[in-house]
Structure 1
Amino acid sequence: MNLDSKIAIVTGASSGIGAEFSKMLVENGTEVYGLARSTDKLKKLQKSLGDKFHPVTMDISNAEDLEGWVDDTFSRNHRPDILINNAGVMYSANVEDLTMNEWHTMINVNLNGIFYLTRLIVPLMKENEQTCHIINIASIAGLLGNPTISGYNASKFGVRGFSEALFKELRYDGIKVTCVFPGSINTDLFDKIDGIENHPNMMKTTDISGTVKFLLETDDNFLINEITMRPLNPKDPTS
């Protein structure tokens, strides 16, 4: 895919790898609709990226609001070519200490939100004569279970299963589906997690955005449906 003049949707776009995806796409000529809950962060990002970035204040766990936005934004003459389902939250606790609200928030944002938006975008992509691409950002936690993040594991394992089924369902419609499994990235995802601190050996946001750029720019009949990324040395160099 040539990214120039394409239309993309990026969720969780206001910070971290979502903001980096948006920057990478805009720099390559793509029109980007960036979805996130923080209006202030989105407007700040728009000032940096310019008019090709459209800030959209949206909670992707609200299916009704998503449907209204998609209906108002897209049409037969204005269809998305790229969907990057990136928004995610993580809470850490032993299973008996994880609250009902924390569990439901992770499932609603990390898994349900992907379904809510994807089901609306797929019909538009099926009408697109060009090859389209859906990229679902999971996590290494979608491949390996770990103590104290059972809810996050469950949501990201779900993303993998959804992505696997979706890739087989949509491949003959000219729609690629890739599930991405990053290890630790130097973002604010871990800010509220006890015992985990960011350090220089975590992957950079540009590592992930560069890989996603490569995935998007592959030839139309070439698909990488799953890709795992890790830091070579994951240990804090100061420890």
Structure 2
Amino acid sequence: MDINTKTAIVTGASSGIGIDFSQALIKKGATVFGLARSTDKLQKVQQELGENFHPVTMDITDHDAIEEWINATFSTDHQPDILINNAGFGRFADVDELSLDEWEAMVQTNLSGTFYMTRQIVPLMKEKESVCHIINIVSIAGKVGNPKMTGYNASKFGVRGFSEGLFKEVRYDGIKVTCFYPGSIATNFFGDKDIDTHDNMMQPDEVAQVLVNVLETPDNFLINDITMRPLNPKAPEDQ
């Protein structure tokens, strides 16, 4: 895909790798609709990235709001080329201490939100003659289970299964589906979880470059799964 002039949707665009994804796409000439719940944060991102970043205040767990926005924004003459399902939420605790609200929030954001966005965008992509691309940002937690991560693992394993089925379902409609399984990235996602970032974590711009590389593959070339990790994941002071 030639990203120049393409239209992209990025969820979770107000922080973390969502900003870097948006920036990388805009640098390649794309127009980005950046979705997130915080209007203030989105406006700051727009000030940084410029007029090709269109902020959209959206809670991706609200299917009706998603449908209303998509119907108002896109049409048979204007369809998105790229969907980056990046928004994510995590709470970590022993299974008997994980609250019902935390469980529901992870399932709704990580799994249902991905489904809600995708089911609305796929029909529009099917109408395009050019190849389109859906990228689901999962996490290594979609492949490997760990203690205190039962809810997060469950939601991310769900996205993994969803992506595998979707890839086989829409490949003949000219829609690529790629699942990203990144390990630790130095973002504020960890700041909310009492896990300190450090220099040996992957950097958001590095992951964004991989995203660009995957999008720019030839039309009949698909990378449907990609796992990325720090070579040395230990904090410098622990070595």
Return the TM-score normalized by structure 1.
0.99
CA distance in structure 1 between the partners assigned to 2:161 and 2:197 by the alignment? 29
Aligned ranges 1:1-239 → 2 under 5 Å: 1-194=1-194, 196-239=195-238
Post-superposition offset of 1:206: 0.9
CA contact (8 A) 1:178 1:225 kept: yes
Cα deviation per residue 1:190-218 (whole Å; 9 max; x = unaligned)? 12224x21111000001110000000000
DSSP-derived class of the 2:32 partner: strand
Post-superposition offset of 1:77: 1.2
CA distance in structure 1 between the partners assigned to 2:49 and 2:140 by the alignment? 30
2:102 maps to a residue whose letter is E
CA distance in structure 2 between the partners assigned to 1:78 and 1:25 by the alignment? 18
Cα deviation per residue 1:129-168 (whole Å; 9 max; x = unaligned)? 1000000000000000000011000010001000000000
CA distance in structure 1 between the partners assigned to 2:129 and 2:159 by the alignment? 27
2:212 maps to a residue whose letter is K
CA contact (8 A) 1:16 1:188 kept: yes
Cα deviation per residue 1:25-56 (whole Å; 9 max; x = unaligned)? 11111000000011111001101111111000
2:213 maps to a residue whose letter is F
Identity within the alignment, % = 61
1:171 maps to a residue whose letter is R
CA contact (8 A) 1:91 1:192 kept: no
Post-superposition offset of 1:238: 1.2
CA distance in structure 1 between the partners assigned to 2:181 and 2:84 by the alignment? 13
CA distance in structure 2 between the partners assigned to 1:99 and 1:207 by the alignment? 34
Return the TM-score normalized by structure 2.
0.99
Cα deviation per residue 1:34-83 (whole Å; 9 max; x = unaligned)? 00011111001101111111000000000010000000000011100000
CA distance in structure 1 between the partners assigned to 2:27 and 2:13 by the alignment? 15
Cα deviation per residue 1:116-138 (whole Å; 9 max; x = unaligned)? 01000000000011000000000
CA distance in structure 1 between the partners assigned to 2:125 and 2:95 by the alignment? 39
Q: Which moved more, 1:224-233 or 1:185-194?
A: 185-194
Runs of 4 or more off by more than 6 Å in structure 1? none
DSSP-derived class of the 1:189 partner: coil
